[in-house]
């Protein structure tokens, strides 16, 4: 299997003196028998293009006849980076057919060579005589994968969009290696307590954020890889539809599975595209020879990434959700791909998948319990009540007795009782044990405040200091609790 920005396979065969013309004549006959199209014919050799189907793509075979050797090179056409062994197979096929040809007599050889000469290109136009590509030309070839061309538009645009968002975040001050949780959330990461609190747009925006430059580069490599394989076959509309819908299914799966995980990255949507490809590879819609090599490679990629996702810090739920969503979308697209001229099948499948994904996502979204969101809302009320209850300490020392008593009773004790009731409600929520441990401390805090305010009320009402030591003891306990609560934040 050849890998590179133009994958190729080369074989060189020794050639005896005077055998060049015979090899060229027999090479042309072999190309004709294989059904390949001759692109150029010259005294230096022959260039032919294969026809291997949509997923294997076309290759270029160059047979260059030199003085003592024949160089046979098969290289991939288009923008693919992996040939799945196709170029070696092309050379093997060519040599197999060549070796089966009957030997030619001197007269037959001379006659056929003279016929071929009429189709020779001029020496100055002979591509086979051009020097090898320079380093600069090779670098230019590499950058072709970043340039939108016919059949490969959406992939580079998506790549540029992800990179652009990352650059804008960096300019805004987000750390390019280890962005903070706060910065990711402010830019639209997926997080259950926020997403379920009316911020459903995070299901899509998180697909364009990345947790550091390494995360971005890995995802963009995977995107380009699958885009080169899949976009020319699906087309722009199907490809972008599958990408966005898979991204949503990945985000919903993450939302359903994770309680407090901050999720970001294009990997869920990219896994969806691999799911689309897997769906096609499990049918007879792709030629059998291509199917085996591609299916093995894609399965290895998926399995490796899912196993790697078992370790902490990786949102495997999004990967699995995207993959399953992509599989379903891929199967839905198949009828339209088999009847490429039927626009109703094409757009009908896209509309159906859009409706299915959005409807099912809405149902799941509404069914996911948001105890964390409830906790945040009610705790915000608790904080407001606490502030009102503590406001009594801001009254001047010479305030009228009635005002002090009213502050301790209505603004103080009553609000502490309301706060205590809220904490009891919060303790009924399905939350991790650490929240319940904190609730125990908060309940004790409220109870101590109530006792302290009751004693203060009695001290003022009775105009006595006999409760002073007891109040001081409560205040010490309260301060110790506050120190513990602060240490937990």
pLDDT digits over 67-83, tens only? 899 999 998 875 566 66
Residue ranges of E strands in 176-327: none
Q: What's the mean pLDDT in 377-381? A: 95
pLDDT class for 1, splitting at 50, 70, 90? very low
pLDDT score, position 3? 42
Quote the radius of gyration of the chain (alpha carbons, Å).
Answer: 36
Q: Out of 267, 361, 419, 452, which one is annotated catalytic? A: 267
> Per residue in 267-308, pLDDT tens?
999 999 999 999 998 888 776 766 776 787 788 888 888 888
Nearest to 371 by CA among 298, 426, 450, 290: 426
What are the pLDDT digits (tens) for 354-365? Answer: 999 999 999 999
d(CA 197, CA 416) in angstroms, rounded, equals: 27
**Separation between Cα atoms, residue 246 and residue 200, nearest integer Å:** 16
* CA dist list (Å): 94 to 26, 55, 71, 91, 283: 11, 21, 13, 5, 29
412: closest CA among 438, 424, 394? 394
Gap between the Cα atoms of 229 and 233, Å rounded: 8
Q: Which residue in 143, 357, 96, 384 sits closest to 247, CA to CA?
A: 357
319 included as an active-site residue: yes
Closest CA to 182 of 111, 247, 115, 264: 264
Q: Which of residues 59 and 416 earns the better pLDDT score?
A: 416
What does the pLDDT read at residue 164? 98
pLDDT of residue 133: 62
| 142 has a pLDDT exceeding 70 | no
- Contacts by 232-240, CB closer than 8 A, 24 or more apart: 232/54, 232/78, 232/151, 232/152, 233/54, 233/55, 233/337, 234/276, 234/333, 234/337, 236/153, 236/154, 237/346, 237/347, 237/350, 238/333, 238/336, 238/346, 238/350, 239/154, 239/155, 239/273, 240/154, 240/158
Q: How far is CA 124 from the centre of its chain?
A: 49
- The 10s digit of each residue's pLDDT in 7-49 is 889 999 999 888 889 999 999 999 999 999 999 999 999 999 9
Query: Which pLDDT score, from 0 to 100, does residue 82 have?
Result: 62
Q: Is residue 136 exposed (0-12), middle (13-18) or buried (19+ Cβ within 10 Å)? A: exposed
Specify whether 32 is catalytic: no
Which of 467, 461, 426, 468 minimizes the C-alpha distance to 446? Answer: 426
The whole-number average pLDDT for the span 301-327 is 90
pLDDT at 312 over 70: yes
> How does pLDDT run across 190-211, given as a tens digit for each residue?
999 999 999 999 999 999 999 9
Average pLDDT across the chain, whole number? 90
Lowest mean pLDDT among 148-157, 195-204, 444-453: 148-157
pLDDT at 304: 86
Give the pLDDT confidence of 392-425 residue by residue, as tens digits: 888 887 889 999 999 999 999 999 999 999 999 9
- Average of per-residue pLDDT across 237-254: 98
CB-side neighbour CA atoms (13 Å) of 138: 8
Model confidence band, residue 131 (pLDDT cutoffs 50, 70, 90)? confident
Q: Which two tokens stand for residue 305?
A: 């990434």
Q: Two tokens at 236?
A: 């722009």
- Counting other chains too, the contacts that 458-461 makes at CB distance below 8 Å and 24 or more residues apart are 460/401, 460/404, 460/405, 460/408, 461/405
Q: pLDDT tens-digit profile of 94-108?
A: 999 999 988 888 888
Q: Among the options 319, 361, 419, 452, which is catalytic?
A: 319
Q: Which of 83-92, 152-161, 314-323 has the lowest mean pLDDT?
A: 83-92
In the prediction, which pLDDT does 2 show?
A: 45
CA distance 173 to 179: 9
pLDDT of 489 strictly over 70: no
Confidence label for 93 from pLDDT (cuts 50, 70 and 90): very high
């Amino acid at each position: 299997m050849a890998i590179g920005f133009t994958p190729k396979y080369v074989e060189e065969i020794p050639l005896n003196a005077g055998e060049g013309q015979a090899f060229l004549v027999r090479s042309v006959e072999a190309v004709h028998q294989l059904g390949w199209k001759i692109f150029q014919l010259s005294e230096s050799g022959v260039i032919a293009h294969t026809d291997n189907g949509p997923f294997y793509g076309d290759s270029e075979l160059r047979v260059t006849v030199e003085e003592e050797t024949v160089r046979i090179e098969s290289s991939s056409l288009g923008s693919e980076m992996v040939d799945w062994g196709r170029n070696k197979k092309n050379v093997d096929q060519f040599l197999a057919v060549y070796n089966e040809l009957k030997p030619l007599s001197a007269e037959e050889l001379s006659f056929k060579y003279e016929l071929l000469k009429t189709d020779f290109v001029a020496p100055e136009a002979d591509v086979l005589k051009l020097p090898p590509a320079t380093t600069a030309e090779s670098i230019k070839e590499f950058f072709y994968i970043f340039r939108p061309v016919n059949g490969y538009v959406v992939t580079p645009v998506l790549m540029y969009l992800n990179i652009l968002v990352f650059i804008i975040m960096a300019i805004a001050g987000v750390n390019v290696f280890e962005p903070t949780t706060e910065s990711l959330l402010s830019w639209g990461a997926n997080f259950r307590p926020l997403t379920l609190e009316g911020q459903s747009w995070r299901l899509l925006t998180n697909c364009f954020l990345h947790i550091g430059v390494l995360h971005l580069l890995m995802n963009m490599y995977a995107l380009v890889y699958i885009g080169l394989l899949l976009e020319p076959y699906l087309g722009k509309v199907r490809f972008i539809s599958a990408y966005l819908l898979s991204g949503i299914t990945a985000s919903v799966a993450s939302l359903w599975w994770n309680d407090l995980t901050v999720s970001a990255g294009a990997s869920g949507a990219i896994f969806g595209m691999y799911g689309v490809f897997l769906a096609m590879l499990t049918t007879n819609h792709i030629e059998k020879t291509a199917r085996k090599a591609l299916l093995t490679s894609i399965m290895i990629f998926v399995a490796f990434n899912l196993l790697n996702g078992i370790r902490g810090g990786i949102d495997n739920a999004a990967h699995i959700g995207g993959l399953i969503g992509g599989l379903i979308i891929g199967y839905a697209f198949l009828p339209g791909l088999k009847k490429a001229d039927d626009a109703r099948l094409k757009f009908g499948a896209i509309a159906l998948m859009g409706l299915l994904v959005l409807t099912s996502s809405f149902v799941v979204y509404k069914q996911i319990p948001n105890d964390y969101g409830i906790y945040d809302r009610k705790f915000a009320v608790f904080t407001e009540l606490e502030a009102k209850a503590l406001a009594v300490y801001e009254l001047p020392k010479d305030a009228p007795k009635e005002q002090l008593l009213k502050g301790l009773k209505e603004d103080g004790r009553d609000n502490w009782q309301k706060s205590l009731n809220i904490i009891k409600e919060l303790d009924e929520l399905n939350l991790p044990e650490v929240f319940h441990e904190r609730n125990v401390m908060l309940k004790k805090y409220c109870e101590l405040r109530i006792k302290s305010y009751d004693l203060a009320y009695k001290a003022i009402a009775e105009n006595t200091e006999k409760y002073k030591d007891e109040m001081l003891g409560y205040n010490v306990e309260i301060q110790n609790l506050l120190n513990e609560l602060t240490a937990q934040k």
